[in-house]
């Protein structure tokens, strides 16, 4: 029995050490720093003050952009991904399915940086706007707008949304749809009453994955938002690397973590309800 315990601990040790060094300790450091002050030449000077938190309003624009664009981006991802996942799981022929699934992840084989450059060109003056202009549809400004950031988000995060939904739909017992039909439900109502509720765990997982990553996103807003549409991630980069105000940066980071915790808690509550109070259903 004791040997069993020892073995368990040994197996857990690498992951445990990693968690401790890479997650718990840095979080403690950030938390402690958030009550400190900026040194004369930047960096951190120990102190105990709430000034950093009281000052969070100065970065309100970053919070606002993140809290508006992250949910909208997640929602658009969902709306694009669901029909795609539905087609892949329930309508495509099994012969093509694997190929189609690979096509969904193909963009991941290239760095997001390079792909974002491509979007800079596409959305920039010589890209889509000039094309629209040539067609006499005006010359809209696309790059450096929230729209450009959303395009980048949907493009970059779509596979993360498609896969969990695909798995949920693929696992769906097709006989349930027959049962629904047998009991008098036309196909569209079967979708609403059976397919959709039973794919909710996949939807929730996809939304959580995309949303959490989006809350910390900084590359897409930096490249496609051109400093006009910036996220908390961009504010953090700016605070730690440019203004070197580590204490204030830590306070912003702590605030971000708190927002995330609230969101995840809400998510767990919701998914528990979707799973009908069943605890043994894995949703992540």
Partner 1 sequence: MESNLKPSSETEDAPIAELREASKHYGAVVAADGLNLSIRRGEFLSFLGPSGCGKTTALRMLAGFEAPTSGDILLDGQRVNEVPPHRRPVNMVFQHYALFPHLTVAQNIAYGLRQRRPRPAEGEIARAVDRALETVRLPGFGPRRIWEMSGGQQQRVALARAIINQPKLLLLDEPMAALDKKLRRDMQIELQTLQRSLGITFILVTHDQEEALSMSDRVCIMRSGRIVQMGSPRKLYDRPASRYVADFVGKSNFFSGRVTAVEAGRTELAAAGGHLIAGGAPVEIAMGQTASASLRPEQIALHRKGAGGNTLPVTVINRIFLGEHTEYLVRNTDLGEFLVLVSRQAEAIEGEFEPGDQALASWQDGAALILGDD
Q: Contact residues for partner 1 (CB under 8 A)?
A: 173, 175-176, 178-187, 189, 193-194, 197-198, 274, 276-278
- CB 164: neighbour CB atoms within 10 A? 24
- Minimal distance, residue 195 CB to partner 1, in Å: 11
Q: What sign has the CA pseudo-torsion 224, 229, 231, 235? A: positive
CB under 8 Å to 56, separation ≥6 — which residues? 63, 251, 252, 255
- Minimal distance, residue 90 CB to partner 1, in Å: 16
Of 179 and 241, nearer to partner 1 (C-beta) is: 179
Position of tokens 């605030």?
255
- Minimal distance, residue 193 CB to partner 1, in Å: 8
- Minimal distance, residue 198 CB to partner 1, in Å: 6
Decide: 27 and 34 in contact? Cβ < 8 Å.
no
Of 218 and 274, nearer to partner 1 (C-beta) is: 274
Q: Is 245 helix (H, G, I), strand (E, B) or coil?
A: strand
Whole-number Å distance between alpha carbons of 189 and 197 = 12
Tokens standing for residue 207: 């939304």
- Minimal distance, residue 167 CB to partner 1, in Å: 16
Of 179 and 266, nearer to partner 1 (C-beta) is: 179
Whole-number Å distance between alpha carbons of 121 and 134 = 17
- Minimal distance, residue 183 CB to partner 1, in Å: 4
Of 40 and 184, nearer to partner 1 (C-beta) is: 184
Angle between helix 246-274 and helix 25-33 axes, rounded to 10 deg = 120
Q: What are phi and psi of 245, to 5 degrees?
A: -100, 80
Whole-number Å distance between alpha carbons of 33 and 30 = 5
Of 176 and 257, nearer to partner 1 (C-beta) is: 176
Of 196 and 219, nearer to partner 1 (C-beta) is: 196
């Amino acid at each position: 029995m004791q040997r069993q315990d020892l073995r368990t601990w040994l197996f857990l040790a690498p992951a445990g050490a990693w968690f401790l060094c890479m997650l718990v300790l840095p979080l403690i450091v950030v938390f402690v720093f958030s009550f400190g002050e900026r040194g004369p030449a930047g960096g951190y000077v120990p102190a105990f003050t709430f000034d950093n938190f009281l000052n969070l309003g100065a970065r309100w624009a970053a919070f606002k952009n993140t809290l508006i664009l992250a949910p909208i981006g997640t929602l658009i991802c969902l709306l694009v991904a669901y029909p795609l996942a539905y087609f892949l799981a329930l309508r495509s022929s099994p012969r093509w399915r694997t190929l189609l699934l690979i096509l969904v992840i193909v963009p991941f084989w290239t760095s997001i940086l390079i792909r974002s450059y491509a979007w800079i060109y596409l959305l920039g003056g010589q890209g889509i706007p000039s094309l629209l202009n040539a067609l006499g549809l005006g010359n809209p400004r696309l790059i450096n707008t929230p729209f450009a950031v959303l395009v980048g988000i949907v493009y970059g995060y779509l596979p993360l949304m498609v896969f969990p939904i695909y798995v949920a739909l693929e696992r769906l017992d097709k006989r349930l749809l027959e049962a629904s039909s047998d009991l008098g439900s036309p196909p569209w109502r079967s979708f609403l009453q059976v397919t959709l509720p039973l794919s909710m765990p996949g939807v929730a997982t996809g939304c959580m994955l995309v949303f959490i990553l989006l809350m910390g996103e900084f590359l897409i807003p930096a490249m496609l938002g051109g400093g006009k549409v910036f996220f908390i991630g961009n504010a953090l980069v700016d605070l730690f690397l440019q203004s070197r105000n580590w204490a204030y940066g830590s306070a912003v980071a702590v605030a971000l973590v708190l927002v995330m915790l609230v969101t995840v808690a809400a998510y767990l509550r919701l998914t528990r309800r979707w799973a009908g109070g069943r605890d043994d259903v894995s949703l992540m």
